Amino acid sequence: MKSGTEPISALISAAAARRIADGTHDDPFSVLGPHRSDGKTWLVAHDPGATSLSAVTRSKTVTLTPIPEAPSVFYGEIPSDEAYRLQGKADGKSWDYDDPYRFGPVIGEMDEYLLSEGTHRRLWTVLGAHVMTHEGTPGVHFAVWAPNARHVSVVGDFNWWDGRRHVMRRRGSTGVWEIFIPEIGEGAHYKYRIVGADGAVQPLKADPVGFGAEHPPETASIVRDIAGYGWSDNRWMTERDGRNARTAPISIYEVHLGSWKRRHDEDGRMLSYKEAAVELVDYVHEMGFTHIEFLPISEHPFDGSWGYQPVGLFAPTIRHGPPHEFRDLVEAAHDKGIGVILDWVPGHFPTDAHGLAHFDGTALYEHADPREGFHKDWNTLIYNYGRVEVANFLIANALYWLEEYHVDGLRVDAVASMLYRDYSRSEGEWVPNVHGGRENLEAIAMLQRMNTTVYGEVGDIMTVAEESTSFPGVSRPVDTGGLGFGYKWNMGWMNDTLDYIGHEPIHRKHHHHQMTFGLHYAFSENFILPISHDEVVHGKGSMLARMPGDEWERFANLRAYYGFMWGHPGKKLLFMGCEIAQPSEWRQAGEVDWSMTQYPNHRGIQRLVRDLNTLYRATPALHYKDCEADGFEWIEANAADDSIYAWIRRGGPEDPPVVVICNFTPVERRDWTCGLPQAGKWREVLNTDASIYGGRDRGNLGGVTAGGTGSHGQPASARVTLPPLSTIILAFGA
C-alpha cells in the first residue's frame, strides 16, 4: 500500500533531509520517527542501504516514499497507535528491524540534573553502553558526554561503522548524547563518531565509560552486560571492615597479573582471571598475605605502560578475560579471606587518538594549556580537576570498582604529581594557583571528595596514596584538613632503608641514621612500608641484586632486611618475585622466575616471608599499633659501630610485647646485653639465621630468660646471641 500524499515540506525540508542523509543533522529525533499531525501519524525514516523502505504494522505494510533530494530518507503515513518495524530492500535482498528513532529517552530528569551539576555518584549507571529492555524491546542504550560536539553517532559492527545511521539525541544542557538501539546486545563492537563545533570529524572514540574493549592493539569498545553477577561473598563483605582497619595485620602482595605466571604450553600467554582465581589466590593464601594489590587492570593500549596509562577506566582489561571473570577472581580471593586492592590512575591519561584526548574537538577532559594539561615525564595529559564533570567522572569511577566489583581498596598512583602544579616543571613551565602558590587546589579538592564519597558510600574499604613528598595530612580525615586517605606509602622509609642495606657492612656505621630516621615521622600518617615494582625495574636490579657481599651474605642481608621490615611499625607491601629472592629485575614481558625455588637459598627466603606473614598476623604486638606511637619504643637506636638496632612492639593492654633485634654486620655477637621490658621467659619466635631459611642455626636455643638487672632504660635484661646479618624476634611468655 502506498503512503499518503501529505506534502513532504510539512514533515521535513529538503535541506533537513539532506542533513539526515549525510548524518549531519544536529537534532535527528526532531525529524525521524513517528510524528502526529492533524490526527494522523507520519513516519520519517532513514536507511542509507535501502532502495525501498516499508513500515510493517499489525494491520498493513506501508511502502514509504523516498525524498527526491535525499533518496535514503523516506516518509509516509502509518496507522496510529500501532507498533511498526522497518523493512528495507536493495539488490534483491531484504531486511527488517526496529526503528531506533521510535524510542523515547532513557535518561530521566533526576539523572539530567545530577549530570549537569557534576554530582552523579553512579555515573556509570547512566553513561556507557547498557544492555536493557526499553519500551518492551531489548537492545542497548548508549550515552556519552560530549558537550561541545555538533553531533555524535554510535558506529559499530552492527551498522557497518556508518556514522549516518545512529546519530544520537542531545539531552538539554547536560552535554550528554544518547540513543537506544534495539536488537543488539552483549559483544557488540562500537565507538563514537564525534563532529566538533567547527565541523571537524574527530578520530573515532572509544567509550570513556565503556565496560569492555577489544584486545589491543584493536581499540573499539565492546558492549558488556555487567548486571546480574551472583555474588556469594557475603561473609567477607560483612567482616572486611576489620580486615582493612589500622589495627589489622595488613600484608600486601603486589602483582602485575600479566607477568606473574605465563602459560608456556600455550605460546607463553598470560593467565586468565579464572586461572588466577585458582593459582594466584591459592599461592597468596599459602604465603600468608592478607591482600593482593594489582597493578592497574583498567583497559590500556600499551603493555609497556603496565596499565598506568589507561584508556578504559571502567573496563577490566580483556587481556585476562571479560568483566564477570574478573569478578570470579575477586570472589575467589574473598573466599580465601584475602582482600583485593587495585591501582587506580586519576593523575593522567595517554594521548592515544581513540581515547579522551580532545574528545569532542576541544580540551574536554584535559587542560587546554600544556603548562597545566601535559605531563612531560610520561608524555600524557592531565585531567582538568576543576571541571565538575571531569571530577565527577573520576570519583564515580573510584566508586564503580568498589561497588560493582567488590574491590576492597584503591591505591592511588602518583598523588604527588597531582598535588603540585610545578611537579617536574621548571620555572615558567607551570601556572600558579589562584593564591599564587604551587598547590593544585582543584586536584586536592577532587581527592578529598573522592575519599569522602567512597568512605561514605562503602565505608569498610581502604584508599592508599602513593605520595612521595611531605604533604601534610594525606591519611588524615578531610574534616580536619587532610586528604582523607586510609593509608599512605612510606616512600621515605623505603628509600632510606634500601640505600642503607645496599652499603657494604663495614660502611653502614656511617649511615646508621637511615634506619632510624623513619621513626621520627612513622606515626604522622597511617603508613604502608612498600617494596614495590618500582624498586626492581629500570636498572635498579632485584632485591637480591641490591645486597652486597658474596652469595651467602647477599641472602643473609635480604633475610635480615625482611625481618627488619616486618618488625618495623607500618603495614607491609612486597612485589611479586621479591618473596623468592628472584635474581633478575622484573620484566613485564616475562614472568616470576619460579625455577629459582628449586634452590635452597631461594626456597628459604620464600619460607621466611611466609613465616613472617604468619607471625605478623598472629601477633597483635606486631600489627595492632602499626600506626600508633605508643606501640613502639626504642631499646637501642645508637649502636652505630656495631650496626645493631633493637626495639619493642606493643599491642593492646592484654597483648604480650615483642622485641625485635637486628644485626647488620657479618659478625656474630654473643652475649649482647639487651634491655627488656619484663623479666621472665622470652621465646625466640623468629630467627632469620635459621637453617630452614638458608642460615646456619646460630641463635638462642629457642629463647632467653630476662633477669631483674636493667639495661637500655628497661627494667630487665638478658644476654642474647645475634647471628651475623640477622634479625631475631623475641616474644614474652612461655
| Size of the chain, expressed as the number of residues it contains | 734
Q: Which residue has the cell 522497518?
A: 86
466 is catalytic: yes
10 Å CB burial of residue 678 (0-12, 13-18, 19+) is middle
Alpha-carbon distance of 151 to 345, in angstroms, equals 30
C-beta of residue 496 within 8 angstroms of C-beta of residue 522: no
Per the CB < 8 A criterion, the answer to whether 226 and 323 are in contact is yes
Measured CA to CA, the distance from residue 336 to residue 292 in angstroms comes to: 12
- Reference 262, options 489, 592, 643, 700; nearest CA is 592
Active site residue 77: no
Alpha carbon distance 475, 489 (integer Å): 10
To which H or E segment does residue 371 belong?
helix 370-373
* 541: helix, strand or coil: coil
Quick one: CA torsion of 402, 404, 407, 408, rounded to 10 degrees? 50
The amino acid that residue 292 corresponds to is I
Write b or e for each residue in 505-521: b if 16 or more Cβ atoms lie within 10 A of its Cβ, otherwise e: beebeebbebbbebbee
CB-side neighbour CA atoms (13 Å) of 651? 21
**Separation between Cα atoms, residue 709 and residue 715, nearest integer Å:** 7
- Given a contact cutoff of 8 angstroms between Cβ atoms, the answer to whether 50 and 99 are in contact is no
**CB atoms < 10 A from the CB of 21, how many?**
18
Spatial contact of 529 and 490, defined as CB atoms under 8 Å apart: yes
In sequence order, the 6+-apart residues with CB closer than 8 A to the CB of 616 are 249, 251, 566, 572, 622, 623
Sign of CA dihedral 387, 436, 438, 432: positive
- The CA R_g of the chain, rounded to the nearest whole Å, is 31
Q: What one-character DSSP code corresponds to residue 438?
A: S
The answer to whether 545 touches 589, Cβ cutoff 8 Å, is: no
Nine-digit cell string for 201: 570529524
Considering the candidates 413, 442, 467, 591, report the single residue annotated as catalytic: 413
What span, in angstroms and rounded, lies between the C-alpha atoms of 50 and 89? Answer: 5
- One-letter amino acid identity for 217? P
- The secondary structure of residue 622, as a DSSP letter, is G
**Which of 111, 293, 331, 466 is an active site residue?**
466
HSE-CB for 61 with a 13 A CA cutoff: 8
With 0-12 CB in 10 A as exposed, 13-18 as middle and 19+ as buried, what is 551?
exposed
Bridge partner residues of 41 (DSSP) = 36, 78
669 with 642: CB under 8 angstroms? yes
Kindly state the DSSP code that residue 714 receives in the 8-state scheme: B
Residue 677: which residues within 8 A CB-CB, separation 6 or more?
633, 648, 657, 659, 714, 715, 716, 732
Q: Which residues have a catalytic role annotated?
A: 413, 466
